[in-house]
Structure 1
């Protein structure tokens, strides 16, 4: 006599599961609740009840983060995004609002100030470690969300709103501030005015000589994406904010270059563009990435094909060879032999 296969228990409505798991968290059983969130949401997803799986994960991520359980909360937040992908949920304002609600639950804790004693130093190290964990967790969540948004209906670079969220959190919470990363996400966002406010705040506390580099990096990143409009908005807003907050707007040669560059790109003026690069070469060379960005700008605005670095290297070699050849045939042959031996 064959034994009947046991039936899987019918899954209850998501509301009942959410209430049960919320009680576990409120009782302080964070780890136990975490394992339940993961296993139960997977069962709902396997049963093709993706909407309920998403509700459970969203609730768990928000509550764990609210309780300060950043690692647990961010893990559920990432699984929430993975479930969006598996369910092929299209990008829209409702889902974006759900992601924003999780984002706003990530703790924002100022680092302790004016510490000097050994105990205080230990406290500071612990605070720095916790801040680094918060930033890494939030980045993992938002990067996953950006990737989902790019795949399922947002801009090809991902949702501009999500890029702004990531830029804001990295800037405000990172114990080791990386303005290049902040700028990378702001220029893929949709809020140059907020970016300008952030830059002015940075100018008020950065080392001397970093302020004009930060402005130039932002402007050139916008331009390398073909976004002349927001590059101009950013420059105007930074100047306005600087006056309002009584920060000195930098007056370096690099800023002068940008002031000439922006109007140049509004017209068909490749010779002038090249002349600016030549005349301000020493200022541009302060950051190696600027030349690469300017090559991208030349290609976008003037159709100038970027030179392959290897072609440039071998071109320089053969220029040298020809010069030697003009001086001495024997020396030329020896040089060729050395180059290709």
Structure 2
């Protein structure tokens, strides 16, 4: 087949495709009628035809509609699959990260169900825990589905957006969903996204909430980890904003800020990093080593902080446990 004939056929196929709105309405009616699986296959095949013809906007319209309505009906696996395909289409079309594309991602994100696990615990559960087990399984599906979607969106934003760390707004959204919806809270993962975000006050609110339900001795570790992760990125401003916001929120709730040697170390560290004082930084590390040894990753993070603020490189960047903290 000649190249010109191939182009003519593609051009004809582009013209043959109808406006997507009728297709969207028909598929939405299928979902409303409970035909989730059949509609899912048609969402994928129909959008693929538009995408093959490089009619990316129409393909995105179909996928966004499909993801949103499937999620609205609690079909998380189907909705998440279409949501990831939506991001894949952004990549195929080389569409830039901007207010419009971010807004579309946010709308899909907001359609993901939110059912906080503590709401499940109570008399509604039978003695053998079957309903609780089912609820935990469903929560894992929701968390994994939304995480897959937002991680794909973050990778797209790295490639087609202005930030090499990915969209700060997307990082905050992912951190919020993981914290509120995951049956097992991974504070390291939550914090790793918040520190690449742009909302230290919201991060502070989450930490204050965590303090109300964590085990004794976990609160100061969570605070220290969060501050150190900000500092490992060279972000002294937001590390200070986080501490200030936490103090303010705890005071408003008539609660006390945790007191421990580890917290004292963090306070001294923030002051030390305001000036060129590497010898004092080394002295602090030595004096509070017993406290920082409570978490095996803290020493690596402090090495990275030394590199960021004083140009002292102990190892290759993002090695070991520290590097694992910032993986997507």
- Return the TM-score normalized by structure 1: 0.86
Q: 1:82 to 1:289 in 2, by over 3 A?
A: same
5+ residue gaps, structure 2, are 1-8, 317-328
Q: 1:114 to 1:45 in 2, by over 3 A?
A: same
Counting matched residue pairs gives 304
Q: 4+ runs of 1 displaced by more than 2 Å?
A: 6-9, 114-120
- Which residue, 91, 97, 102 being the options, matches 2:97? 91
Select the structure of larger CA radius of gyration: 1
Q: C-alpha displacement at 1:114, in angstroms?
A: 2.4
- Which residue, 226, 231, 237 being the options, matches 1:229? 237
- Return the TM-score normalized by structure 2: 0.90
Q: C-alpha displacement at 1:118, in angstroms?
A: 4.1
**Which structure is richer in relative contact order (CA contacts within 8 A, separation 6 or more)?**
2
- The answer as to 2:29 corresponding to 1:26 is no
1:110-189 map, 5 Å: 110-111=116-117, 112-115=120-123, 118=126, 121-189=129-197
5+ residue gaps, structure 1, are 1-5, 309-341
Q: 1:307 to 1:35 in 2, by over 3 A?
A: closer
- Which residue, 282, 287, 293 being the options, matches 1:279? 287
SS at 1:35 equivalent: helix
Q: C-alpha displacement at 1:274, in angstroms?
A: 0.2
* Aligned 8 A contact 2:80 2:146 in 1: yes
SS at 2:197 equivalent: coil
- Which residue, 52, 63, 69 being the options, matches 1:63? 69
Q: C-alpha displacement at 1:103, in angstroms?
A: 0.3
* Aligned 8 A contact 2:125 2:131 in 1: no
SS at 2:184 equivalent: coil
* Aligned 8 A contact 2:125 2:132 in 1: no
CA RMSD of aligned residues (A): 1.7
Q: C-alpha displacement at 1:244, in angstroms?
A: 1.4
Inter-partner Cα distance in structure 2 for 1:20 and 1:120: 43
